[in-house]
Amino acid sequence: MTHGAARRADEPGGESGGKPGRGPSEAAADDGSRGARPLWRQRDFGIFWAAQTLSVLGDSFALIALPLLVLEATGSVARMGLLTAVGGAASVVAAVFAGAVVDRVDRRRLLIACDLVRMGLYGVIPVVWLFGPQIWLLYAVLPLCEAVGMLFAVGYVTGVRALVGTGQLTEANGRLNATAAAAGVLGPLCAGLVAAWSGPAAAVGVDAASFGVSAMCLFFVRFRSRTPDERPGRRTGLWQDLRTGIAFLHGHPVLRSLTVLLFVFSFLTLGLNDLVIYHLKYDLGHDDGTVGTVMAAGALGTIAGALLVARIRRRLGFGPTWTCSVAGCGLAFAGLGWARDVPVVAALSAVFLACAAMGGTCSMSLRQEVTPEHLLGRVTSAFWTLHYAAAPVGAAVLTWAAEEQGTAPVALAAGATCVLLAATALLTPIRGAGRP
């Protein structure tokens, strides 16, 4: 997800695919008109929506296929966790400069370049695997893809803000997450079947192709141009950009509390996917097809959470919605390692993902709502740098502990700590945030 030779965002037409720039009043009027129309009638949002759904559909193949490639070659959950940790570390490093890049370049070109780079990187894996397993390749390709993915993710957040009015952000994020989750239902199911029939490497090839289709869709999206007030001022260094984002987070009581609590939450949960796959294949003795089916069933929870979040947040407010979501994640996580039946594992996965979808959508929407446009990339970059800083270590520790002590006690300890985080949130400004 390198940004390529994208035009600077402060050049005329830099955000609208080559069309002339517009003044502040015209841009504001356009933002208001976008907010007044239903999302399904907004052409650019619709294309963007379709592109992300396709991208997630393919990504869900890799979500299952890459751990399966490691597990089949090594039989070790710790090696699976190490791969996750290496990829996560690359995301954290990329997050340091992602905001500075996103705030300065053409968002559409950036997103397209990211998709094309990931298509090429993931496409190498099935080709090499034709000549035999090469685990080292996964440790080389995944960090690069994760770094590019972080650039895409920060650009994605600012892109949604540039497509819809602020009053529709939670709804837009919910719909994007819901259809992404719907793709996540079909993706793992198909990935499990493809992995069972043709091997996990073939499933990675499907992921590569999906990025190419997503890039083609994004070519037709037009983002709202940044106004002069929204464009970055004088050029500053990467560390100064990161400090600017951190300063904004520190100065906002709710975002400051969220950043601290999510730092711990990410440490505990990044390795969850590896833990579930290992539990299904080694503790319960099921095949790749079952893994895909469970992941697909679990993704139904993401759909439910993403579709319900806007309504629940309007009724309860941000604080109660986010806190209950984290508590729900913890309770589901605690039970996963003890579940011995596949339907129970699937149900608990669905609960975890539903709660994670609600909490994540709330968190992202709040950040988009309260952050000035010209700072959004840098604030998002700083937020994710701090948020995920310890997550790679957490994934390695979680999976190592599961291999040494078993999945049940490790899942119980991690889940109980997540519940404790939710209780801690009640002592912070999060508790009263956004109450109706």
In order of 45, 91, 111, 160, the CA distances from 34 in angstroms are 10, 32, 21, 12
CA dihedral 86, 213, 116, 71 (to 10 degrees): 20
SS (H, E, C) 133-179: CCHHHHHHHHHHHHHHHHHHHHHHHHHHHHHCCHHHHHHHHHHHHHH
Q: Cα angle at 326 between 259 and 51, to 5 degrees? A: 75
- Helices 318-336 and 407-425, interaxial angle, to 10°? 170
Query: What is the value of pTM for the model shown?
Result: 0.63
The amino acid that residue 10 corresponds to is: D
Instruction: Tell me how far apart the alpha carbons of residues 361 and 273 are, in angstroms, rounded to a whole number.
Output: 20
* Per-residue pLDDT in tens (0 to 9) along the chain, 436 residues: 332 322 222 322 233 233 223 333 333 333 443 445 666 567 777 788 888 777 777 777 777 778 778 877 777 777 877 887 888 788 878 877 777 787 777 878 888 999 899 999 999 988 988 887 788 888 888 889 888 888 887 787 777 777 776 666 777 777 777 777 677 667 766 777 777 777 777 778 888 888 888 888 888 887 766 554 445 545 555 667 667 888 888 888 989 999 899 999 999 988 888 888 888 887 787 877 788 788 777 778 878 887 888 888 888 888 899 999 999 999 999 988 788 888 998 899 889 989 998 998 888 888 888 888 777 777 877 887 787 788 888 888 888 888 888 888 999 999 999 999 999 999 999 987 765 4
Give the C-alpha separation, 62 to 234, whole Å: 40
- CB-CB contact of 325 with 362 (8 Å): yes
Domains and CATH numbers, the chain: 36-222+237-432 (1.20.1250.20)
Residues whose CB falls within 8 Å of the CB of residue 155, separated by 6 or more in sequence, listed in order: 98, 102, 107, 110, 111, 114, 377
Query: What amino acid occupies position 283?
Result: D
| CA neighbours closer than 13 Å in the CB half-sphere of residue 360 | 22
Going through 2-142 in order, the beta strands assigned E by DSSP cover none
